[in-house]
């Protein structure tokens, strides 16, 4: 079960036999007032696995990601990262967040900073990298994802797709163990979506562990190790994409996919 003393020790092996899941969620519940958004979510994500969360708006996808990153206080349940509980009392949430990258629908770049400064700020402030180390790392990442020529630009000089790619690169600069992506293409014009999806596909091929909330069904079918369909605050069904999209077992999944197909999105 891993440690239960409430202390998160990055890089320290969890106790117990066998290799711990990169992320494990058990019995997760979260309410906003009288509305229970998550109603007992259980999920295990292995290292290097890519899990796509699908479901209608309001099904709890974004809230689940925010709970994993400790941006929302959970009401019940436990979340483990690398076999260590991160929702126990006394856990240093800021230390945990160093190891979990999260990218939202909105880009959240600092408008008064260049692309390079956006990418180097947190590694210098939080990880303690020297300026030369942070700049070298930023240059490597930006070049890798086709943004090298944009290092000196400010966000308002970039397209929406470029800004979202910079936001992903900024998260990668923190060298996370786990990446959370929350509908990262939903605010983009259709012609800009492909570049962002290509970047995520490259991360998946490189072995990054990811939990992705997405409305891009074709992308989920192409990239995911497993697809989880959320309904009524629970994971109603999870399966490899070929199985879930062609032979869903839950009637709620079937209804959702019919609507998606009728809308021409699958």
- pLDDT at position 17: 37
Query: DSSP string spanning 188-254?
Result: S-HHHHHHHHHHHHHHHHTT--EEEE-S-HHHHHHH-SEEEEEETTEEEEEE-HHHHHHS--SHHHH
Domain boundaries, the chain: 23-262
User: Is the per-residue pLDDT at 14 higher than 80?
Assistant: no
pLDDT tens-digit map of 37-72: 999 999 999 999 999 999 998 899 999 999 999 999
Q: Does domain 23-262 have CATH number 3.30.9.10?
A: no
User: Is the per-residue pLDDT at 99 higher than 90?
Assistant: yes
What global pTM score does this model have? Answer: 0.90
């Amino acid at each position: 079960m891993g440690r239960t003393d409430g202390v998160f020790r990055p890089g320290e092996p969890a106790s117990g036999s066998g290799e711990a899941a990169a992320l494990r969620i058990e019995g997760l519940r979260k309410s906003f007032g009288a509305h229970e958004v998550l109603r007992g979510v259980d999920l295990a994500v292995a290292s290097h696995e890519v899990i796509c969360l699908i479901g209608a708006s309001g099904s709890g996808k974004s809230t689940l990601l925010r709970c994993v990153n400790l941006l929302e206080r959970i009401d019940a349940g436990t979340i483990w990262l690398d076999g260590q509980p991160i929702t126990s009392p006394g856990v240093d949430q800021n230390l945990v967040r160093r190891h979990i990258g999260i990218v939202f629908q909105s880009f959240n770049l600092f408008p008064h900073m260049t692309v390079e400064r956006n990418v180097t700020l947190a590694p210098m402030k939080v990880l303690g990298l020297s300026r030369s180390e942070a700049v070298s790392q930023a240059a490597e990442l930006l070049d890798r994802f086709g943004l090298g020529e944009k290092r000196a630009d400010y966000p308002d000089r970039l397209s929406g797709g470029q800004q979202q790619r910079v936001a992903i690169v900024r998260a990668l600069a923190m060298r996370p163990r786990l990446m959370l992506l929350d509908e990262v293409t939903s605010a983009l014009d259709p012609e800009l979506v492909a570049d962002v999806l290509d970047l995520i596909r490259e991360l998946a091929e490189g072995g990054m562990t990811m939990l992705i909330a997405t409305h891009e069904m074709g992308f989920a079918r192409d990239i995911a190790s497993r697809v989880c369909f959320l309904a009524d605050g629970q994971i109603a069904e999870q399966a490899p994409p070929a199985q879930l999209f062609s032979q869903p077992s839950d009637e709620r999944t079937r209804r959702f996919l019919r609507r998606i197909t009728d809308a021409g999105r699958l």
